[in-house]
């Protein structure tokens, strides 16, 4: 079942996919090229009707990782996570916000707390807690952050 869905995804947007891990029937992790995140996510969200749930940014110390989690509510409820690996020094990837409104807040949050740049975000206002206490360039969720 889930294997069939993965096959279809590969067929549609295979050029961006670097690898697939099927953890179990409800959890799939797809490694993608960050440049193609918009195309893959749009395919899942628009063509397959998946619900955009949230994104997670992870500091792996050597690089940054962003996972976009989409839930295939109409096809058995499996959770598909699109994993993009970003450069440690200058993390940057295309924004999903112009396509999927649901990703607006989370991208602002990731940029604020993790320092990841989302190219093409329509409303990337400085939104760290309060500018009095949080100078530019301090990202509390990074591993090297010290309170």
Partner 1 sequence: MSLKIKALTKSPWVYHLCAGGSCNNCDIEILDCLTPRFDVERFGVTLIGSVRHADALLVSGIVTKKTAPLVKQIWEQAPKPCLVVAIGGCACSQGMFKDCYTANPVPLDELIPVHAYVPGCPPKPETMIAGIVKLLGSLTK
Partner 2 sequence: MSDRRIIPIGPYHPLQEEPELFRLEVDGETVVDLDVEVGWNHRGIEKLCETKTYDQVPFVVERICGICSTSHPLAYVQAVEDAGNIEVPERALYIRTLVAELERLHSHLLWVGLAGHFLGYNTVWMWSWKYREPILDICETVTGNRNHYAMMKVGGVRRDILPEHVDYILSRLPEIEKFADLIKGAVLDDPVLHARLKGVGVMTADDIHDYGAVGPTSRASGVPGDVRRDDPYAAYGLVDWDVICVPQGDVFAKAVVRVLEMYETIKIIKGCLEKMPAGEIDSKPKVVAPGEGIGRHEAPRGEVFHYVRSDGTNRPIRHKIRAPTYVNLPTYKTSVIGESITDATIILAAIDPCYCCTERMAVYKHKGDPNEPIMTGSDLVRLSQEKTARLRKEFGL
The residues of the shown chain that bind partner 1, judged by CB under 8 A, are 129-130, 132-133, 140, 145, 147
Shorter beta-carbon distance to partner 2: residue 15 or 53: 53
Which DSSP string do the residues of 105-123 spell out, in sequence order? HHHHHHHHHT--EEET-TT
Tell which one of 10, 15, 23, 88 touches partner 2 (CB under 8 A): 23
For residue 108, give both structure tokens.
Answer: 């602002």
* Minimum gap (Å) between residue 145 Cβ and partner 1: 8
Query: Rounded to whole angstroms, how far apart are CA atoms 114 and 135?
Result: 14
**CA trace torsion 27, 33, 37, 42 (10° rounding):** -70
Of the ranges 4-12, 20-28, 30-38, 86-94, which one interacts with partner 2 (CB under 8 A)? 20-28
Give the three-class secondary structure for 135. coil
Nearer to partner 1, 105 or 145 (CB): 145
Binding site for partner 2 (CB under 8 A): 23, 26-27, 29, 45, 49, 51-54, 56, 58-59, 67, 69, 71, 73, 76-79, 81, 100-102, 104-106, 109, 112-113, 125-130, 140-141, 145
């Amino acid at each position: 079942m889930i294997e069939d869905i993965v096959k279809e995804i590969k067929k549609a947007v295979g050029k961006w996919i670097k690898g697939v891990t099927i953890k179990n029937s409800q959890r799939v992790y797809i490694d993608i090229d960050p440049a193609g995140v918009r195309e893959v996510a749009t395919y899942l969200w628009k063509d397959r009707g998946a619900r955009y749930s949230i994104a997670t940014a992870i500091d792996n110390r050597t690089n940054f990782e962003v996972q976009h989690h989409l839930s295939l509510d109409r096809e058995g409820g499996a959770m598909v996570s699109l994993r993009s690996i970003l450069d440690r020094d200058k993390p940057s990837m295309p924004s999903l916000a112009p396509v999927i409104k649901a990703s607006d807040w989370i991208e602002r949050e990731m940029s604020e707390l993790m320092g990841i740049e989302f190219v093409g975000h329509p409303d990337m206002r400085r939104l760290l807690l309060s500018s009095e206490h949080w100078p530019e360039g301090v990202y509390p969720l990074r591993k090297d952050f010290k309170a």
